[in-house]
Amino acid sequence: MSESIRLRFHGDEEGKLPLPKQCSIAISSCETPEICQAVAAVMEQILYALALFGLDLRALDGITLSRDCRTDGAALQSIPEGQVPLEMTDRPDTMEMGRTVAVWREKELRFHIVLRAGIGLMTLSPEKEQQALAYACIAHEAAHVDHEGHLYRTFPGIYGRPLECGDRSRQTFLKAMDVWSEYAACRSSATFRPEAVEEFEGLFCRVLEESLTACKERIAAYRRDQKTLQVFMDIQQLFGDVFIHAGYFLGHLDGLELTLEGHAPHASTLLRQHPQIEALVIRLRRVLHELWLGEYGWKSIEVFAPIYDLICEMMALHGLAFARHNDEWHMVVL
């Protein structure tokens, strides 16, 4: 069965905590109405706790517990069939637990959390480890609501129209913004599950190592087939994903006030084997930290340009660069 339940925040507290005026949770795969109500009650308590923790949830549209986060997220955004939004490539060794999507409600942009259905039941689990994982997933997506809501209030003109990113590749600039988004969400929610830093360290290392091989394969394919458009898209996706995974990992490190050398031995060793990439990661961490400190003083989306430039430097290390002819961007081998 499937049920939509309105979350009711107490009137005497409304306005004191940064919670939405209206919010509901859509629950699928509930065995009984009682379980649905129990999940909704726990979710309500978690949102209260996250608001008390310091997350601004005024922009929260609602929560959907879903069997397929990607499909339900696209449906909420009204993405036409056949169009694929820019996002990270799926990995066989990971399972998506949730995502936060922007939705228009009349003339207001709000943010809807889509969670894997099992997360709801995990909040009721008697096993503390299961509960901790569920709370961490919810906290991470709630942190996206906080930071994306702030971004929208600061720059309302960047949503619902082509992004004005200057003389830059739009695809890579959007990746740069995603790097910040995941860093901020991870830094804000890291304390809910500190052990996750090891998981994100391992994932970052695997993605980085795979990218080094994949890039050589893409260049070889380009020289063989001359399919410039596909290589152009693939390379941006490849290195954009490396930086997004770095954002996850560095966000957890900074959220827990950990050092790369002392608390991430695998990543530290791998980066020392590639000193030029290590230098880029160190600079990326500094840029992201500066963005974090100045988030409430941003003047334009140019604040994301340093991340874009670092992604371009990563490409240049592999002998690749952007070139523009009239209004079209191309990838060239240096």
Do 137 and 268 belong together in one domain?
A: no
Pick the closest to residue 260 from 274, 244, 241, 281 (CA basis): 281
- Identify any residues that bridge with 329 across adjacent strands, giving them in sequence order: 324
Give the β-pairing of 98-105 and 108-116: antiparallel
Say if 322 falls within a structural domain.
yes
Q: Are residue 248 and residue 223 in the same domain, yes or no?
A: yes
Question: Is the residue at 249 inside a domain?
Answer: yes
pLDDT at position 127 over 80: yes
Q: How confident is the model at residue 80 (pLDDT cuts 50, 70, 90)?
A: very low
**Domain match, 148 and 197 both:** no
pTM: 0.90
Write out pLDDT tens, residues 181-236: 999 999 999 999 999 999 999 999 999 999 888 888 877 776 776 655 566 667 77
Residues 152, 176 share a domain:
no
Same domain, 54 and 154: yes
What length does the chain have? 334
Q: Count the domains in the chain.
A: 2
d(CA 3, CA 37): 9
My answer on whether 323 and 220 are in the same domain is yes
Domain that holds residue 183: 170-333
Arithmetic mean of pLDDT, 95-107: 86
Residue 225 lies in a domain: yes
Instruction: Return the percentage of the chain with pLDDT > 90, whole number.
Output: 57
Q: Are residues 184 and 136 part of one domain?
A: no
Cβ-Cβ contacts under 8 Å for 191 (sequence gap 6 or more): 255, 256
Q: What tokens were used for 173?
A: 């600039």
Please check the confidence at residue 78 and state whether its pLDDT lies above 70.
Answer: no
- 164 is a domain residue: no
126 inside domain: yes
